Amino acid sequence: MTLAEGTGVADAARAVLDAADPAAKVKAARAAARALRAGRLAARFDTPMPDRPARPDSPELLPPGRMPKRGRGGSLRGRIALLHAIAHIEWVAIDLAFDMAGRFGGRFPPAFAADWFRVGAEEAMHFALLQRRLRAFGSHYGALPAHDGLWEAAAATTGDPVARLAVVPMVLEARGLDVTPTMIAQCEAAGDSATARVLTRILNDEIGHVGIGTAWFQYACESSGLDPVDQWKKQVERHVPGAVKPPFNDSARGAAGLTRDYYAAIAMPGGARHTVNTECGGLDPHSLE
């Protein structure tokens, strides 16, 4: 896919959001990021983003309470379900990154859109890697139901970039920093080094994504004379109350600039929802959502 010279940044972002087919969305994300890096996109943000991105016929999207239980122990079904759940998270993350750039890019310096286009292309790469692992197990994305918790959590922040930055990278994506190391360790213990390598790559990239979100959140707050820590707490309590739960991967969060000053004071006791239900995943990846 090649974008014409002079295509607007928001037009390129909208093309990603409008792609329903998984392969087409991955190609659109990569093409948009390449075009922006090459200087072929105009700094225009006059194209509106959709209320909801295009979605394929599958997976079926269910309310969280209706999601089926995943298999336990050494079952192939459990491993496929784990990978499918993470693939769905990465699929939605593609749209969230390009929506961030297309919806809010005109309010920030050009580096803002460039950062989120890069994040979106990396999320597309993560999805492709997970799709490859699913196919190695005889499955594919869309074979199982999923739910739309990530997008729904972001929908209430469509008019406020400070709120969106607080919620998506600094809460929802930061959760991945907490739960992924346990999944990696259990994959390695199960002898699934290929999946462990994919998850390690995703974890390392997600530290950067949370870091980008945190840096732009701090920029937005400081540009408006707001205290970033106080403002983050207010946004989280308003939009996703109860979503910040221990245990935390303080090292990874700290590497992303998300220090305990932000989350310790509002962390809910009791820990994240843990479900030991797959061969190589001890933490339920839906706790990211």
Most confident of 4-13, 36-45, 73-82, 266-275: 36-45
Segment 149-155 shows an average pLDDT of 83
Rounded Cα–Cα distance for residues 188 and 192 (Å): 6
Bridge partners (DSSP) of residue 146 are 61
- pLDDT number for residue 161: 97
Give the model's confidence band at 287: pLDDT under 50 very low, under 70 low, under 90 confident, else very high: very low
- pLDDT number for residue 1: 62
How far is CA 75 from its chain centroid? 27
Segment 174-187 shows an average pLDDT of 92
- pLDDT number for residue 197: 96
Rounded Cα–Cα distance for residues 142 and 32 (Å): 24
Point out the least confidently predicted range of 118-127, 185-194, 239-248, 270-279.
270-279
Of 149, 189, 204, 182, residue with least CA distance to 283: 182
- pLDDT number for residue 187: 86
How many H-runs (helices) and E-runs (strands) does the chain carry? 11, 0
Rounded Cα–Cα distance for residues 116 and 118 (Å): 5
Rounded Cα–Cα distance for residues 59 and 17 (Å): 17
Spatial contact of 54 and 255, defined as CB atoms under 8 Å apart: no
Which DSSP helix (H) or strand (E) runs through 133? helix 110-136
Rounded Cα–Cα distance for residues 31 and 47 (Å): 18
Measured from the Cβ of residue 33, the count of other Cβ atoms closer than 10 Å reads 25
- pLDDT number for residue 276: 30
Of 47, 154, 30, residue with least CA distance to 93: 154
- pLDDT number for residue 184: 92
- Calculate what percentage of the chain has a pLDDT beyond 90: 73
Most confident of 86-100, 145-159, 186-200: 86-100
Point out the least confidently predicted range of 65-79, 213-227, 266-280.
266-280
- pLDDT number for residue 65: 67
Residue 70 has pLDDT above 90, yes or no: no
- pLDDT number for residue 72: 47
Residue 2 has pLDDT above 70, yes or no: no
Segment 71-80 shows an average pLDDT of 67
- pLDDT number for residue 86: 95
Segment 33-62 shows an average pLDDT of 94
Give the model's confidence band at 54: pLDDT under 50 very low, under 70 low, under 90 confident, else very high: very high
Residue 42 vs residue 289, higher pLDDT: 42
Segment 152-156 shows an average pLDDT of 84
- pLDDT number for residue 270: 55
